Structures are given as structure tokens and as C-alpha cells.
Chain A
Amino acid sequence: MAQPFAKKDDDRDEEAEYSPFLGIEKGAVLQEARVFHDPQLDPRRCSQVITKLLYLLNQGETFTKVEATEVFFAVTKLFQSRDIGLRRMVYLMIKEISPSSDEVIMVTSSLMKDMTSRTDVYRANAIRVLCQITDGTLLGQIERYLKQAIVDKNPVVASAALVSGIHILQTNPEIVKRWSNEVQEAVQSRAALVQFHALALLHQIRQNDRLAVSKLVTSLTRGTVRSPLAQCLLVRYASQVIRESANNFQTGERPFYDYLESCLRHKSEMVILEAARAITELSGVTNRELTPAITVLQLFLSSSKPVLRFAAVRTLNKVAMTHPMAVTNCNIDMESLISDQNRSIATLAITTLLKTGNESSVDRLMKQITNFMSDIADEFKIVVVEAIRSLCIKFPLKYRSLMNFLSNILREEGGFEYKKAIVDSIVILIRDIQEAKEIGLLHLCEFIEDCEFTYLSTQILHFLGIEGPKTADPSKFIRYIYNRVHLENATVRACAVTTLAKFGATVDSLKPRIIVLLRRCLFDSDDEVRDRATLYLNTLGADGSVAETDNDVKEFLFDSLDIPLVNLETSLRNYEPSDQPFDINSVPKEIKAQPLAEKKAPGKKPIGLGAPPTAPSAAVDAYDKLLSSIPEFASYGKLFKSSAPVELTEAETEYAVNVVKHIFDHHVLFQYNCTNTIPEQLLENVTVVVDASEAEEFSEVASKPLKSLPYDSPGQTFVAFEKTDGVPAVGKFSNVLKFIVKEVDPTTGEAEEDGVEDEYQLEDLEVVAADYMQKVGVSNFRNAWESMDPEGERVDEYGLGSRESLAEAVNAVMNLLGMQPCEGTEAVPSNSRSHTCLLSGVFIGNVKVLVRLSFGISGQNEVAMKLAVRSEDENVSNTIHEIVASG
């Protein structure tokens, strides 16, 4: 890639007379710039030198401070010339150099003179230059002229001032905001571009004032907008107003929809597309609203202009994510785009088709894509692979052709990211579609026979170790795995040994043969491979000694160590070789940092190899392990539920504290995760003093302080409460963080001996009814509902009073109960007057609960609700009603 960056002066010899800039050299041009100082200026020559300077700058050349200053001073001399062409060049050159603030003064007087010149174009240029190089202080002096310029009858001057305003708004907003009246006047200008610039500036000035923006849009949608560019801006601002006022128009017609719809018939394509895009992005858009927009987009799909095709298919691609059915009409046009010259358009068309296609079109589509895949770049291929992955999950019956496709492209050339995307997809299909398991694993086996990426090989081997033994005929995988021991690097070989051992431990019939293979690995050239082989031979009982029990072996091979690796590493480092063997039980299990699960971005589904299937249970498991390893809490029994962390401090305070509520049958345990953000402090003996006077049903039974909390190394302190059995006790707790603070010497990092007691007020914390409910969904609500005893059903009606909207009422009840919405019933279509929402969950005591909520809203926004509950325990059904009645 070095070639393209070469400047023109590096050109080859045969082009010797080709470039007027041949052999251009910064030093020489700077020398030439001395002509600017001549008493008899030669405008033509000066212009040529400036052009050379521009050429250098435009190729990314930079001037040192001294060089820039020198050029700048020289250029200012050129203001003496009356040559018009040269003056225009001077303006540009000054902008390009952007002199420092102490130098600017050299030209301000010349520019101010030009700014009040009778020649319009001098004024316009002077405004642009001054606004670029000036700072806030000078702005005050020229503000008067700028305000005049905005309403200047010459559109060039007005535009120059308006665009300057847009730039100055970033640095000196308070000054530009004073120009509102002038800008408002300019919005009404007859000059198309002035209107465009004025509209952009006025919107930026008022962007935080919703009412003003709404008024602006209202008046302009009724008036005349001259340029398509301004019309596009107006469409955007109108959709912004619609978005922001969404809640107020639940019932009536959507404001400005008619305007957007009328823009679909505008003569400029740009405006039509902008309006169509705005309509498709309306929240809760109905099919009736969507149809005209989709129709124009479909027309653009066959436009001769690539930009229009791209814009249309890009918009439809987005629509397909939310309204796949609305886009199906365009499928035929989109299929012809698969062969589009422009690969970006083709990729967008394919991924859209994959979203909108139905089960019967999958095979045909895959055929078309196969031809296409060979000539697009990896980044596009990854997009396609991801789309195919979701298609397969949507149509599990089609796994065979989709899996074939994935395995075919896996064999072709491609970079790491692309291959990883394919492997990840296959793994997900194996996991989600039972029938695909065997065939998928075989594809992965074939892939590792010729895989250049160590990371992917090891991940696949690990996955094979878990899934392979569960198949009908595990022996057929052994050959692929054992081949790795011969053919690969040490990392992969070691991993293959582990995988072999897993097969040996799980499949009894294979065990003797696996042991033979493992024995061969004892002669490997790599320490790690040999060590692993020895270890596994021992655990599998190959030497004839009494082998560990089957369970122990499996636990050792398949389960994680239950010890934070950091702790294990520290313990091993501290271990001094002696007669006493290293005891793994001596490694502390306490997790220093917060459990990983908490740090994960919410809502992000983990994908890929070896990742746990669902995030929440992983988080609970991690907590369960942590808590059961602390003796004080070990007797509390099985952890029922852990809440998401609740912040008890504002962001960026001295100490950051959040709390996780752990619910047990008879106890509630608060885990306070504390972080000390002050480098000069060490906190010791950290506790949280909890006042439970507003939580009468709870009594404090234990508290576990945190011994030390150094800077930026999170730690936990716990407080446990006992509660009445079976009752979902609720209450409010106020918290104070207490600790001993010691000064830390920042140079040595050592803390002083003596500390001072201190405390820090935290936010209050509430335990609510939803804390006693696990969000557990059911795959088929109707079946689950019917299978529950109708005798235990409890039905009642409630008035929820006046609500902002139906959706808001549904949300409130869902949050109150903390249950899992089923079958997408949590989404309330806009404008609907009634809605049914289905919820499921498991209540404390492991009682399954199903809830059917029927809502209705009156013209005055009064919401009524019918609540039907079925559960395995009548008392729980009653409790749900009590929760709703008291909420």
C-alpha cells in the first residue's frame, strides 16, 4: 500500500513533463514565498506560489510553527495588491494556515475593512475568514456586522454569515443565540440556499427548546420551502417532533404524518427518500402508514442511479428488522439486486431477503448467495453469515441446506474474523437444533483438519469434548482429534489431549482405546502436552491403580475449578517447594473483583464457543458459588434469586457502591459492591450500617465487613436479614457506609499506620414484591395455562386510574410483578384501546405462576384491568392479587 501514498513528486521519470508540480519541495516553495514581500507585487507569480503551497497542504504536508508564521506574515502583505484573483487566493490561504491567536491581529484590520466593503463578495469572504480565525473576544467586535450580513440582500453574504454562525455555535453559543431574530428572518428568504443554511442554524440554536422546534416545523410545513436540501432538513425536524411528542398523540392522528406523506410526491428524489425513511422510522408505525413509503422505496430499487438504489435498499433493510412482512412485496426487485455491480447494494439486498424470505424460498436464496459469496470482501461475508445464522434459528427445519452452505464457505479462503463468524454460527446451530448436532460437529471436525487459526482449533476441540461424547457414535470423532496430536502446534496438541480425556471419561467403551492414545502422547516434545497426558492417564486410572470415582473424574474434567484464577495464581506464586504438597483447598475462594456476569452489557446474548447458554442463570450460579463459600451464609440454603445491581451512589463520587439483593427462603442478603476511587486513600474495616426501621418484617442477623478496600480494587461487604417464612416481605432500608480511612503516600503506595473513622451516606434501598419472583418464560402459554388446575385460578378487576397511555399501564403492572412477558405481549400496538398481556414466573418457594392481564382504556385515559392468576399453590395466587392491590 506504500504506492498510493506516494506524492506526485515521486512520480516516475517518463512522466517528467507531466506534472506542473514535479519535484515540488516544501523548502523551495517557502523560499519562493518571499516574492510576497516584493515592493512591486507580481499577482500572477504570487498566485502560482500560493497554488504550490495549497498543493503541499492538500497532500497532507504540514508546516512547522515557524514556517506557518513566516508564510502567514508574507501572505498578509498581499492585501496591498488590488488584483482580484490574488485576493481570492489570499483569503483561502489564510484559512488554510489558520494562524495562531497572537498572529491573527495582523490581518484583522484588513479583514474588517473588507467586511464593510461595498463589494459584496469581499464581505462574504472576509466574514468566512474572520470567523474561522477569530476567537471569542474579537467576535464581540464584529457581531454587529455579522447580524447585518445574515439579512443581507446578497445571498452569498447571507450564506457566509449563516454558515459561520453554525461553526461559531460550537465554540460561542451564547453569542450566536442572540441572532435568533435575524436568522428567523433569513429562514423566510427567497434564496434557496440561504433558507437551507438559516433553517439548519435556527434549528441548532433552538434544538433544546421542543416547543420552539415544533412551532418552526409547523410554520414551515405550511409555507414554502425552496430548496430540496432545506426540505430534507424539515422532514428530519418534523420526524423529531413526532418522536418527542409520541406520548401525547396516542389516540389521535399522528401530527405531520400528512406532511411526510405529501413529501413522498415531491419532485426531488432526495426529499422523497428522506420522507420515506422518516415514515419507516416512526415509532409504532402502522401498516397503513407504512404502505405508501414502501411503495416509493420499491420504485427506487430499480432506479438507474446506484445512490438511489443503495438508499432504498438500506432503508428497506432496516424496515425488515421490525416489519418483515411489509417488505415482502419488494422481494422480487430485491432478488435482482443480488447481481448488482455495487457490492454494498448486493449485500444489503441479500441480508434483507434473508430477513423477509419465507421457508419455501430458502433453498433458492441459498443458491443465489453461493454465487455471490465468492466475489465480495470478508466484511460483507460476515454480515451475510450472521443473517444466515438468524434465518436458521427462524426456520429450524431448513438446517440441512443452511448448514451445508456454512460448511461450504468454511472450506473457502477467508480471514480470521470471517471464519470465526462461521464457526460461531455452526456452534449456535448445534446448540439450538438437536438434529443438526451430529452433522455440525462433523463439519467442524473437517475444518480443524486444515485450520490455520490456533484459536479456532482450540475452541472447536474444547466444544467437541463437551458435545462429542453425547452423540450416538462418539468414536468417529476420535480420528480427527488424535490427528491434531500429530500435526499441530503445541497449543492445539495440548487441547486435543484434554479432549481425548473427556471422551475417555464419558464413554466407557472408548476408555481403553483412549488410554492407548494418551500413552503415545507421553513422548511429545512439549512439556504441557506430556504433563496433561500424564495427568489424564492418572485420573482415568490407566496405571491400574484405584481410579477416582467416575463422578470425580467428570467433575475434574468438565467443571471449572471454582476458584478465581487470580487467587490460584497468587497462591501458587507464594507456595514454596517443601515436603508439604500444594493444597488447592487453601486457595481463597473470595472473589476480589465483582463477578464477571455483572459487568456484562445488559441484554447482550453471549454467543460463541463454550459460552454459557443464558446469562441470568450464569449470574445466579456465580453468586451461588460465591455465597456458599462464605461460612456465615452457607446455611441459608439454595439461593432463589439475585437482583441486578442497584446503584446507591451517584456516578463519579468518591466511593462507588451498588447492592445486589440475594433472596433465600428465610433470608435476604445484601451484597454491597464497593469501589474506592481515591488513589490517596485506603479504606479498612468497611461496613454498611443498615437502618431497617421502615422494614418491620426484617431483622438483621449477620454482617460481614470488608477488611480493606484499596484504590480501584472493588470489594464486597454483606448484611443479612431474617424474614418471616413464605411471606414476600417488603420494606425500605437506609444505608450508611462506615470505614476507617488511611492516607496513602502516592509515591510509595504505602498507607499510614493510623486511620480516622468516617462514614458516607448512601441512597435508600427497597425490597419489593418483584424481588421474590423469577422471570421464567414458557414456550407455549396456552398449553401451560390449560395444564394448570382451573380450581386454583383467582380473578379480580382493578381500576388503575388515569394513565399516560395503555403501554405505560402495562409496563407498570409488569414491573410491579417482575414476571416474564410471553409471546411478545409486552408490546402494546399504538392507538389500541385494549390489550392482553401474558406473564409467567416462579414465585419464592419454587411455585410456578401464570398471569393473564386484560387492559382497557377509556376516552379519558382511565385504565381498567382484569387480572387472572393460575399457580400451583392457591395461596400464591392470592398473594399476587394482594401485590397488585397494594401496588
Chain B
Amino acid sequence: MLLAVLFANSEGNILVERFNGVPAEERLHWRSFLVKLGAENLKGAKNEELLVACHKSVYIVYTVLGDVSIYVVGKDEYDELALSEVIFVITSAVKDVCGKPPTERVFLDKYGKICLCLDEIVWKGYLENTDKERIKRLIRLKPPVDF
């Protein structure tokens, strides 16, 4: 299960958070844990350089893209390898929507589209689409070209 996808700005403010199967009372803990993890490790990281950590039996893969840091959290079959696949899809989709690694402003301008992309990529804790071209068409309700 993909437990969480979280976007934060460079100051640690949350831009997007989507939890799956995480009880409401634990979300605050996760949010602060992830933001702290990013603050400690993401400084100086290159765009899309993946960082990895585990906390109990849960895995976390995170990265930075422009002004935005992205975290994905998973357990069981969503281990560090599957998560790196997921975060790769997410970063490509975000770059595609924004045209480049986004500043916070650009990210927020494209907020609606990014939400739609996430909706295509992760659905209730499962990875659904992995191809950015297809995702690009799907969020405009266009059928995929590659079948």
C-alpha cells in the first residue's frame, strides 16, 4: 500500500498531502516526520536525486524538484524500489505539467492539473498509471494513443 504522497515547499509548508490507509490521528506525526526528514537531508540535493529512508516497516523515498520537495511513503509491496518507480512517475508528470522543475508559484498555478495527474498515478494507495504521455492525455480526457 502506498501510504502517502506529500508535497511541501522549501520552508516545509504542505502543498499537497494525500494519505491512504493512515488513521487521521497519525497523519500529523507523518507530516512532521517527513518535513523534518526533508529539512535534514534535502539541503543541497540535486533535482530528482532520490533519497531513501525507512521508519519501522515503512519506506520513504523523497526528492526535490525545483522549489518543491516530494515524499512518497509505502509499506509491504511498496518498498523502496516500487516507491522510486512511483516518485519517478510523479516527478515526470509534474515537470511535464509545469514545463520545467517548478518554482512554488508555477506549482500552485498548475495546482489543479497536478491534482489530476496524481489522481491518475495513484488511486487509493495503488499505482495505476506510469506513463507520462498517457497521463497527459488522460487528464484532458483524451484516450491514450499507444494501444
Q: Which residues of A does B touch, CB under 8 Å?
A: 1, 3-8, 11, 18-21, 47-48, 50-51, 54-55, 58-60, 84-85, 87-89, 92, 95, 119-122, 124-125, 128, 132, 153-156, 159-160, 163, 166-167, 191, 193, 197, 229, 232-233, 236, 269-270, 273-274, 305-307, 310-311, 314, 342-345
> Which DSSP category, helix, strand, loop or mixed, fits chain B's interface?
mixed
CB distance A156 to B138 under 8 Å?
Answer: yes
CB distance B105 to A18 under 8 Å?
Answer: yes
- In the complex, how many angstroms separate the beta carbon of A546 from the nearest chain B beta carbon? 60
B83 partner residues in chain A, CB cutoff 8 A: 307
CB distance A20 to B109 under 8 Å?
Answer: yes
> Which DSSP category, helix, strand, loop or mixed, fits chain A's interface?
helix
Select B139's contact among A3, A88, A119, A197, beta carbons within 8 Å: A88
CB distance A4 to B8 under 8 Å?
Answer: yes
Instruction: With CB as the reference atom, state the residue of chain B lying closest to A51.
Output: B112
- In the complex, how many angstroms separate the beta carbon of B70 from the nearest chain A beta carbon? 13
B115 partner residues in chain A, CB cutoff 8 A: 51, 54, 58, 92
15 residue pairs of the A-B complex, CB under 8 angstroms, read: A1-B36, A18-B104, A20-B111, A48-B112, A58-B17, A92-B119, A121-B143, A124-B138, A155-B144, A156-B138, A232-B82, A233-B77, A270-B85, A311-B81, A344-B52
Q: Complex formed: what's the CA distance from A269 to B82 in Å?
A: 11
CB distance A307 to B84 under 8 Å?
Answer: yes
CB distance A154 to B140 under 8 Å?
Answer: no
CB distance B61 to A156 under 8 Å?
Answer: no
B139 partner residues in chain A, CB cutoff 8 A: 88
Q: Complex formed: what's the CA distance from A307 to B15 in Å?
A: 25
Q: Complex formed: what's the CA distance from A18 to B130 in Å?
A: 32
Is B95 engaged at the interface, CB distance under 8 Å to the other chain? no
User: Given A5-B28, A155-B147, A306-B52, 11 other A-B contacts at CB below 8 A?
Assistant: A8-B108, A18-B105, A19-B105, A88-B140, A119-B143, A166-B126, A167-B124, A197-B128, A236-B77, A306-B51, A307-B52
- In the complex, how many angstroms separate the beta carbon of A57 from the nearest chain B beta carbon? 9
CB distance B52 to A54 under 8 Å?
Answer: no
Q: Which residues of B does A touch, CB under 8 Å?
A: 8-9, 11-18, 27-28, 31-32, 35-36, 39, 41, 49-54, 61, 77, 79-85, 104-105, 108-109, 111-112, 115-116, 119, 123-124, 126-131, 134, 138-144, 147
- In the complex, how many angstroms separate the beta carbon of B20 from the nearest chain A beta carbon? 10
B124 partner residues in chain A, CB cutoff 8 A: 132, 167
CB distance A307 to B80 under 8 Å?
Answer: yes
B84 partner residues in chain A, CB cutoff 8 A: 305, 307
Q: Complex formed: what's the CA distance from A153 to B16 in Å?
A: 34
CB distance B18 to A229 under 8 Å?
Answer: no
CB distance B61 to A89 under 8 Å?
Answer: no
Known: A4-B12, A274-B81. A342 touches B51 (CB 8 A): yes
Instruction: With CB as the reference atom, state the residue of chain A lying closest to B125.
Output: A167
- In the complex, how many angstroms separate the beta carbon of A823 from the nearest chain B beta carbon? 34
Q: Complex formed: what's the CA distance from A59 to B9 in Å?
A: 12
Select A229's contact among B28, B52, B127, beta carbons within 8 Å: B127
Select A1's contact among B13, B14, B32, B116, beta carbons within 8 Å: B32
Among B32, B51, B52, B130, max chain A CB count under 10 A is at: B52
Instruction: With CB as the reference atom, state the residue of chain A lying closest to B40.
Output: A377
CB distance A159 to B147 under 8 Å?
Answer: no
B49 partner residues in chain A, CB cutoff 8 A: 306
Instruction: With CB as the reference atom, state the residue of chain B lying closest to A87.
Output: B141
B108 partner residues in chain A, CB cutoff 8 A: 8, 19-21
Q: Complex formed: what's the CA distance from A132 to B128 in Å?
A: 15
CB distance A311 to B80 under 8 Å?
Answer: yes
Known: A167-B124, A311-B80. A229 touches B85 (CB 8 A): yes
- In the complex, how many angstroms separate the beta carbon of A621 from the nearest chain B beta carbon? 36
CB distance B147 to A154 under 8 Å?
Answer: yes
A19 partner residues in chain B, CB cutoff 8 A: 104-105, 108
Q: Complex formed: what's the CA distance from A4 to B40 in Å?
A: 13
